[in-house]
């Protein structure tokens, strides 16, 4: 058996689909699949973060040791550590050097649920496995060792896949969650009827 996903018909997303700005790419990621080993989920909530021009972005102050991945090639996974205990995962998008990325905020679990439950013993219901950016990282086993991997590479430990599944409803956009600056930019997108969207509330 290969280490490929167990998602029928899934193929890697081409890097050319990630070359536009994060604001354009983010809603287009809804419905795609994020996979780590045998664990996978469909993306139901995302947020766009731009480069230096976005005061809420980690890239706002230019490249540093922490955010260096954001300034790399589209398709790299930017994984960061926050609040002293949580990991969150982004897909780098847009031209290299600009620092744009899309934060994956929630997944609808598709495969490897037993592994996810083991990785997230505090989650009481399956709908709580991946309904938040740090929750899905924990459920899939994503941490700092995955920073900089290429989600377009079939051999990467973290992959972005397209299985042909498409949202049946129009994505809703609104303010990003958990930020203190640029709070009005409506750069969060989610599928309004999906129970796996996070429960975070916009600041303000």
Regarding 49 and contact with DNA (CB under 7 A), the answer is yes
200 Cβ contact list (under 8 Å, min separation 6): 105, 132, 177, 178
Regarding 196 and contact with DNA (CB under 7 A), the answer is no
Alpha-helix runs per DSSP H in 30-174: 113-119, 133-140
Pick out residues in 90-129 that bind DNA (CB under 7 A).
Answer: 90, 101, 103, 120, 122-123, 128
CA 199/CA 134 separation, integer angstroms: 13
- Smallest distance, DNA to C-beta of residue 109, A: 14
Cβ atoms of residues 200 and 178 within 8 Å? yes
- Smallest distance, DNA to C-beta of residue 15, A: 19
Regarding 135 and contact with DNA (CB under 7 A), the answer is yes
CA 120/CA 52 separation, integer angstroms: 35
> Which CB, 154 or 186, lies closer to DNA?
186
- Smallest distance, DNA to C-beta of residue 150, A: 18
- Smallest distance, DNA to C-beta of residue 120, A: 6
CA 193/CA 191 separation, integer angstroms: 6
Cβ atoms of residues 75 and 95 within 8 Å? no
Pick out residues in 154-183 that bind DNA (CB under 7 A).
Answer: 176-181
> Which CB, 108 or 198, lies closer to DNA?
198
In terms of Cβ atoms closer than 10 Å to its own Cβ (0-12, 13-18, 19+), residue 200 is middle
> Which CB, 6 or 123, lies closer to DNA?
123
Q: In this chain, which of 9, 83, 166, 204 binds DNA, going by CB under 7 A?
A: 83
**Torsion 58-196-37-137 (CA) sign:** positive
> Which CB, 73 or 81, lies closer to DNA?
81
Residues that bind DNA (CB under 7 A): 47, 49, 56-59, 61, 64-67, 70, 78, 80-86, 88, 90, 101, 103, 120, 122-123, 128, 132-135, 176-181, 198, 200
């Amino acid at each position: 058996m290969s280490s490929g996903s167990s998602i029928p018909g899934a193929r890697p997303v081409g890097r050319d689909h990630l070359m536009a700005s994060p604001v354009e790419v983010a809603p287009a990621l809804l419905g795609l699949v994020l996979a780590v080993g045998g664990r996978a989920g469909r993306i139901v909530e995302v947020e766009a973060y731009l480069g230096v021009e976005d005061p809420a972005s980690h890239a706002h102050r230019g490249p540093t040791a922490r955010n260096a991945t954001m300034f790399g090639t589209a398709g790299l996974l930017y994984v960061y550590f926050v609040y002293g205990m949580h990991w969150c995962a982004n897909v780098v998008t847009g031209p290299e050097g600009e620092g744009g990325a899309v934060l994956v905020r929630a997944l609808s679990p598709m495969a490897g649920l037993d592994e996810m439950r083991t990785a997230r013993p505090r989650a009481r219901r399956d709908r709580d496995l991946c309904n938040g950016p740090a929750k899905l990282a924990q459920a899939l086993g994503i941490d700092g060792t995955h920073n900089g991997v290429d989600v377009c590479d079939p051999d990467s430990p973290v992959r972005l896949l397209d299985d042909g599944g498409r949202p049946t409803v129009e994505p809703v956009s609104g303010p990003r969650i958990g930020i203190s600056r640029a709070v009005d930019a409506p750069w969060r997108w989610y599928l309004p009827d999906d129970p796996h969207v996070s429960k975070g509330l916009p600041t303000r």
